[in-house]
A and B are shown apart, each in its own frame.
Chain A
Amino acid sequence: MSYQVNEKGYYGDFGGAYIPEMLYPNVEELRTTYLKIMNEPSFKEEFNQLLRDYVGRPSPLYFAKRLSEKHNTKVYLKREDLNHTGAHKVNNTIGQILVAKRLGKNRIIAETGAGQHGVATATVCALMGIQCVVYMGEIDIKRQAPNVARMKMLGAEVRPAKSGSKTLKDATNEAIRDWINNPVDTHYIIGSAIGPHPYPDMVTRFQSIISEEIKWQLKEKEGRENPDYVVACIGGGSNAAGTYYHFLDEPDVGIIAVEAAGKGVHSGESAATSQLGKEGIIHGCKTLLMQTPDGQITEPYSISAGLDYPGVGPLHSHLYKSGRGEFFSVTDDDAMTAGLELSQLEGIIPAIETSHALAIFNDKKFKPDDVIVISLSGRGDKDLNTYIDYFKL
Chain B
Amino acid sequence: MKNRINQKLAEDKKLLSIYFTAGYPSLHDTKKVIQDLEKSGVDMIEIGLPFSDPLADGPTIQESSTAALKNGMTTKLLFEQLKDIRQSVEIPLIIMGYFNPMMQYGVEAFCAKCKEIGIDGLIIPDLPVAEYHEHYQETFEKYGLINVFLITPQTSDERIRFIDDVSNGFIYMVSSASTTGTKNTFGDEQQQYFDRIEALELKNPQIVGFGISNNETFTQATKTAKGAIIGSAFIKHLTHNGIDTIGAFVRGIR
Contact = CB atoms under 8 A, between A and B. Distances in A.
Interface of A: 16-22, 24-25, 163-164, 169-170, 173, 176-177, 180-184, 278-284, 291, 293-298
Residue of B99, B101, B127, B159 with most partner-chain A CB within 10 A: B101
Contact of B100 (A181, A182, A281): A281
A281 B100 CA distance: 5
Contact of B154 (A17, A25, A298): A25
A81 B26 CA distance: 51
B230 interface: no
B126 A281 contact: yes
A15 to B, nearest CB: 11
Contacts of B100: 280-282, 291, 295, 297
Contacts of B131: 16, 18
Given A21-B150, A163-B59, A295-B104, A180 B125 contact: no
Given A21-B125, A24-B159, A180-B178, A291 B104 contact: yes
Given A21-B149, A180-B178, A294-B74, 10 more contacts: A18-B99, A19-B128, A24-B155, A170-B53, A176-B55, A181-B179, A182-B177, A284-B55, A294-B75, A296-B101
B221 interface: no
A59 to B, nearest CB: 35
B152 A22 contact: yes
A19 B126 contact: yes
Contacts, number: 113
Residue of B56, B58, B100, B152 with most partner-chain A CB within 10 A: B100
A283 B54 CA distance: 10
Nearest to A299: B52
A18 B105 contact: no
B76 A183 contact: no
Contacts of B101: 294-296
Contacts of A278: 104
Contacts of B137: none
B174 A294 contact: no
Interface residues of B, number: 42
Given A19-B128, A181-B178, A183-B177, A296 B69 contact: yes
Interface of B: 51-56, 58-59, 62-63, 66, 69, 74-76, 98-105, 125-129, 131, 149-152, 154-156, 159, 174, 177-179, 182
The 5 closest A-B pairs by CB, nearest first: A295-B104, A295-B101, A21-B150, A20-B56, A296-B52
B150 A22 contact: yes
6 contacts: A19-B128, A20-B125, A22-B154, A163-B62, A284-B55, A295-B75
B52 A297 contact: yes
Contacts of B102: 295
Contacts of A24: 128, 154-155, 159
Contact of A297 (B53, B151, B154): B53
Contacts of B76: 294
A102 B156 CA distance: 22
Contacts of B53: 164, 169-170, 173, 282-283, 297
Contacts of B63: 163
A295 B53 CA distance: 10
Contact of B150 (A20, A164, A283): A20
Residue of B55, B58, B150 with most partner-chain A CB within 10 A: B55
A19 B152 CA distance: 13
B201 to A, nearest CB: 21
Contacts of A284: 55, 126
A96 B56 CA distance: 24
Contacts of B125: 20-21
A281 B152 CA distance: 23
Contact of A281 (B58, B62, B103, B154): B103
A181 B211 CA distance: 13
Contacts of A184: 154, 177
Contacts of B126: 18-20, 281, 284
Given A180-B179, A181-B179, A296-B69, A21 B151 contact: yes
B228 to A, nearest CB: 18
Contacts of A22: 56, 150, 152, 154, 174, 177-179
A93 to B, nearest CB: 23
B182 A281 contact: no
Contacts of A16: 131
Contact of A180 (B51, B99, B177): B177
Contacts of B52: 164, 296-298
Contacts of B99: 18, 281
B182 to A, nearest CB: 7
A173 B150 CA distance: 19
B128 A164 contact: no
A182 B76 CA distance: 36
Residue of A173, A181, A182, A281 with most partner-chain B CB within 10 A: A281
A20 B63 CA distance: 19
Contacts of A279: 103
A296 B71 CA distance: 14
B159 A181 contact: no
Given A280-B100, A281-B99, A282-B53, A181 B155 contact: no
A292 to B, nearest CB: 8
Nearest to B63: A163
A141 B54 CA distance: 22
A370 B128 CA distance: 47
Given A20-B56, A25-B154, A295 B174 contact: no
Residue of A184, A278, A295 with most partner-chain B CB within 10 A: A295
Nearest to A293: B104
Nearest to B156: A25
